[in-house]
Structure 1
């Protein structure tokens, strides 16, 4: 590599032939010179082009202040001139110049004051910069700021309204729970008494009317339905109150599943049902009562709504999901639900989709409520005659290593 310096390209000498007069006249900013009273004595062509005037129309005929808007003129005379006299210069004062056609041009003014040998004001020299684009940008910023302030105020009002509505809903829910609990408690005893009296009536009374037996059966069915509804209401409110009082904890799932399967053992034998359990995530963070109620309602429903003529197969599994969630899946091969017709009513209280099966319509309502209280969500897939899958996403640790299958997981009665 050579150590000799590289030769620079030949300089175009035309670049050094600039005229000082041309530099003044064609400068990218406006120049003007004024007498102490503001009378214009010299302007460059750039400023004349901006204003639309000829040199003859302005020199010795108008003052700098006359080229400003009314507000600018007042500021110039009351603020700019005194500062010039006191300090000898001003910098970056914003004004609007009035063009000949009546339009305005935003500029920044820098000015210096020359004095004679006796210190008396002699000449004012001013430089003006076109800030049209800057003004547009500033105005856009101001509009954006005003819009942001308005949106912030709207958001504040919306948040305040939402807070008020939430407080109202909380009070209403508390009042409704108290009302439901009181009503179900007060109704249960009279209805239980009616059921006892009806049983005694069936045992001791004789009905000769041939239609009486059918009417007795209808009345008994209605009475049982009332008792089931009252029990459902009581269960909903009692469970809600219990969950509000109990702390959450890591609940081991296998013992809960085993206990529920054991409690359903009579139905298992009746339906020849099989449970398949795969708990890749062995715990859920909820209250123990909530975990038990959640699984009991889903597993008992899987048996209750089994497809006639087909042994029930119920699969229970957990797995890590995206975002640190835990996926609990309960899948059956039962009757299924027509989600096109009933999807919007799936979790409503007392809604039932298979009237031929005895039930209260509380189970799925409780499942949905428990999941939402835990900060999760429920997704459902179902085909009539094929089966239903509940996918429940709950908050959990992002990375849980699947442990070995819990002891006894494949040997419990009714499980694979």
Structure 2
């Protein structure tokens, strides 16, 4: 490489080439001092004097370097730093606190080199000191942040432990409640059946002359039927919960599976039309009993709560999002006023159309089954315009991508009572 021509060099201020070495020493950006091997100060630069607040004649030959340090620093210097100087001839970046004249302290990094006589006898120690006030503040901030992080980590660990304990407690409570509901419904069913038998025998063998007896008997019969339906519903909730826990997930082809459920809903209202479109996800991987109960409740509700002035139209379809498969059931029925009822939509025994017979367990069961499968339920509805239920399930389904979509003008042929399964209502 060709050296640059002098003519191409920038012009320099000649004063920069005439730097005074004494001035450079005195006003260097760091502190300098020289002391005897025992620490007696013999020379200090003006920078160091300015840091300490002393005059030169107050320190030179009157103080030792160790006396400028705090008590802890003095012990460290005499027991660690001075022996290292004699052994190695130098030390690097020792952290100390200088004591100023006003009693305040200044954090510094000390580096020193030992000067020896030609025969090896120690002559003097040359010391350089760097102000690390800002660095110390930064280190203290880091230390405080670390302490805070440790405290937050411990708080989070305690919170996680409390949450784990609460979850275990809730799991035990839920299991106990399920066992209680199952036991109670089982134990109540036999006495209620006995009451039904006694009531039938009463109607057969007793003649009532009071004109109000007939309506009262009908009301009592309806009450018994409602109690039996509630008990059956409670039993079904617990049985399905246990079945979902015991039955593994499996690939379920939605088209034939849904057609079987539609057949179990006969007789459907005149003019009922189902549209099935599973092109986006023909197969779901889910526990079969849970999916059956979920679809059965939604489809039976779509027919039960059909608008009285138009034939039911029910569309069952699938779609995909980034992280879920969406199973939708849309109807054109009576709808639900979500402005009033959105908070109680999935509550047990909550009903929104008292004029239609039901127990108020269907939507509760749908929501519980969806959550147990790792998903959630969203609802869009408007009064007298219909309802759409969307079940978001984790995208773990397996199957081919063959489109499955067909409209059904009427449900296929009927199933047996055993195939039909138990019914639930909204």
Same fold (TM > 0.5): yes
**Is contact 2:298–2:329 with CA below 8 Å preserved after alignment?**
yes
Structure 2 counterparts to residues 103-182 of structure 1, below 5 A: 103-182=104-183
Separation (CA, whole Å) in 1 of partners of 2:184 and 2:397: 44
- The equivalent residue for 2:63 is 62
Deviation at 1:175, TM superposition (A): 1.4
Shift of 1:47: 1.4
Deviation digits for residues 109-151 of structure 1, max 9, x if unmatched?
0111222344333211111111112111211111111111111
Residue 320 of structure 2: aligned partner: 320
Checking the alignment, whether the CA contact within 8 Å between 1:258 and 1:412 is kept in structure 2 is: no
Contact kept, 8 Å, 1:275 with 1:313, in 2: the verdict is yes
- In structure 2, how many angstroms separate the alpha carbons of the residues matched to 1:267 and 1:295? 16
- Kept in 2: contact 1:320–1:398 (CA 8 A): no
Q: Is the 8 A contact 2:34 2:44 kept in 1?
A: yes
The answer (yes or no) to whether the contact 1:262–1:413 under 8 Å persists in 2 is no
Does 2:207 match 1:209? no
Q: Name segments (4+ residues, structure 1) moved above 4 Å.
A: 3-7, 397-402
Pairing 1:39-58 to 2, within 5 Å after superposition: 39-58=40-59
> Residue 342 in 1 paired to residue 346 in 2?
no
Task: Name the CA distance, whole Å, in 2 between partners of 1:395 and 1:154.
Answer: 32
Q: Residue deviations 1:155-179, cap 9 Å, x none?
A: 1111211221222222221111111
- Measured in 1, the distance between the counterparts of 2:10 and 2:186 equals 105
Aligned twin of 1:355: 354
Cα distance per residue 1:80-99 (max 9 Å; x no partner):
22222232222111011122
Q: Distance in 2 between matches of 1:206 and 1:165?
A: 59
Give the structure 2 partner of residue 191 of structure 1.
Answer: 192
Deviation at 1:361, TM superposition (A): 1.3
Q: Distance in 1 between matches of 2:177 and 2:408?
A: 45
Match of 2:296 in 1: 296
TM-score w.r.t. the length of structure 2 is: 0.90
Contact map agreement 1:350 1:361 (CA 8 A) in 2: yes
Q: CA, structure 1 residues 358+150, in 2 after alignment: closer, same or farther (shift >3 Å)? A: same
Task: Kindly state the Cα deviation for residue 400 of structure 1 after the two structures are TM-superposed.
Answer: 8.2
Q: State the alpha-carbon separation in 1 of the partners of residues 334 and 65 from structure 2.
A: 92
The offset of 1:38, in angstroms, is 1.6
- For 2:407, the equivalent position in structure 1 comes to 410
Partner of 1:260: 261
* Alpha-carbon shift at residue 364 of structure 1 (Å): 0.8
Q: Cα distance 1:262–1:412, how it changes in 2: closer, same or farther (>3 A)?
A: farther
Deviates more, 1:11-20 or 1:386-395: 11-20
Task: Say whether residues 1:15 and 2:12 are aligned partners.
Answer: no
- Looking at structure 2, the residues matched to 158 and 273 of structure 1 have their Cα atoms a distance apart, in angstroms, of 54
SS of corresponding position for 1:309: coil
RMSD: 2.2
Contiguous gaps of at least 5 residues in structure 1: none
Q: Which has the higher contact order (CA 8 A, sep 6+)?
A: 2
Aligned to 2:418: none
**CA distance, structure 1, for counterparts of residue 215 and residue 341 of structure 2:** 32
Cα separation, 2, equivalents of 1:40 and 1:288: 90
Cα-to-partner distance string for 1:195-237 (whole Å, 9 max, x where unaligned):
1211221222111122212221221121111101100111011
Tell whether 2:368 aligns with 1:369: yes
Give the 3-state SS of the residue equivalent to 1:210 in structure 2.
Answer: coil
- In structure 2, stretches of 5+ residues that fail to align are 413-426
Q: 2:107 touches 2:136 (CA, 8 Å); kept in 1?
A: yes
CA–CA distance in 1 between the matches of 2:285 and 2:28? Answer: 74
Paired residues, what number? 408
- With normalisation by structure 1, the TM-score equals 0.92
Quote the offset at 1:401 in angstroms.
Answer: 7.7
